[in-house]
Amino acid sequence: MTRPTFKDFKAKALDNPAVREEYEALAAVFAVKRQLIGLRHQAGLTQEQMAERLGTQKSNISRLENLNATHSPKLETIEQYAHQLGYTVQLDFVPFNR
């Protein structure tokens, strides 16, 4: 008997409409956080170094990048983070796929 993969687990979980709705609601926040982490890695910076650039503590950067955090970061915080890495932030509004 083979052990189910994460991909299998995710597919089964998303068959549940309530789980799918919550997953889709969080998708944008997860995407932003993954981008922040990717940009920091691309710049070759640790969380400690990023914290120094932003004049904050490493724990704040960890919380900002944490995919399991219970709150979303402020747009101003995301902009400051991006600017320190040489980026600007653009927002785009798209209609729901209904």
What confidence score (pLDDT) does residue 69 get?
80
Q: What pLDDT band is residue 98 in, cutting at 50, 70 and 90?
A: low
One-letter amino acid identity for 92?
Answer: D
Mean pLDDT of 36-50: 97
One-letter amino acid identity for 23?
Answer: Y
Tens-digit pLDDT profile for residues 12-41: 988 998 988 888 888 888 899 999 999 999
- Prediction pTM value: 0.77
Tens-digit pLDDT profile for residues 74-83: 999 999 999 9
Q: What is the helix (H) or strand (E) element at residue 26, kind and residue range?
A: helix 17-42
Distance from C-alpha of 46 to C-alpha of 56, rounded to nearest angstrom: 13
